[in-house]
Amino acid sequence: MSHPATPPRHPRRPTTTRRALGLLLPTLLLAACTGSPATPRPSDLAAPTGPLCAALPTGTEPGNPTFLAGQPVEAALRWIPTLTTFEAALRTSGALTDLPTGTAVTVLAPSDDAFAATFSEDNWDDLMTHHTDQVRTLLKAHLISGNHPIADLSDAGTATTLDGTTLTVTRTGPTARLGDRADTVCADYQATNARIHIIDAVLGPLPVTADGTGHRAH
């Protein structure tokens, strides 16, 4: 699915009379106090790291890290081309709705290849169609409350996911090992109030119908 970026609007310059400025000032002050978080400046963003990052959008390409930093996490996931399976599952299951509104979240997002290695196409389609409760439970094993850079998770040594599982987190050069099961392949994408780490395996207890045949279509 294509998600073209909306070009910025350029409103006409207001008339700089004393009356116009007097009317405009309260509005500007209100926006400053109640508006959504500002998009981080490019100089404030840490570049995502990992072996997969080079294959993902960079620079001024659609879906580049600077653009994603100004998007809510649901929208940011849609722009990352290797997360189509995870994004669709998250959206369909509504797993993010378990977080209180405004709560920061860290997403451990398995790549499409990770899902393909774990579920056959028929198996995954059946789960998404008839067992969204199992999918929802599975996805909670990939969500952590709070916005955590991978370096902070590694320094802490453990992280607890929304399903109550405690993962060990160990730094291994440019990547991090999660629960002795998955490695980060492109960590530290930022979104508004969120952090996204792409990983190479599916975490958590797999649904009993997972067959592990790895024949999903790409």
Residues 216 and 169: their CA atoms lie apart, in Å, by: 29
pLDDT attached to residue 160: 96
Closest to 7 (Cα-Cα) out of 59, 79, 67: 67
Provide, rounded to the nearest whole percent, the portion of the chain with pLDDT above 90: 64
- The percentage of residues in the chain with a pLDDT greater than 70, rounded to a whole number, is 75
pLDDT at 102: 81
Determine the 3-state secondary structure of 47 from DSSP.
Answer: coil
For residue 15, pLDDT over 90 is answered with no
Instruction: Measure the CA–CA gap between 190 and 194, rounded to whole angstroms.
Output: 6
> Residue 209 has what pLDDT?
58
How far apart are alpha carbons 131 and 173 in whole angstroms? 38
Reported as a single tens digit per residue, the pLDDT across 55-70 is 999 999 999 999 999 9
pLDDT band, very low/low/confident/very high, at 44 (cuts 50, 70, 90):
low
What confidence score (pLDDT) does residue 115 get?
96
What end-to-end distance do the CA atoms of the chain give, in Å? 15
Q: How confident is the model at residue 41 (pLDDT cuts 50, 70, 90)?
A: low
pLDDT on residue 214: 47
When the candidates are 3.40.640.10, 2.30.180.10, 2.30.30.30, 1.10.490.10, the CATH number that belongs to 44-199 is: 2.30.180.10
Q: Give the model confidence (pLDDT) of 141-197 as tens digits.
A: 999 999 999 999 999 999 999 999 999 999 988 899 999 899 999 999 999 999 999
Per-residue pLDDT at 197: 98
Q: Which residue has the higher pLDDT, 47 or 11?
A: 47
CB atoms within 10 A of CB 162: 18
Residue 163: CB atoms within 10 Å? 17
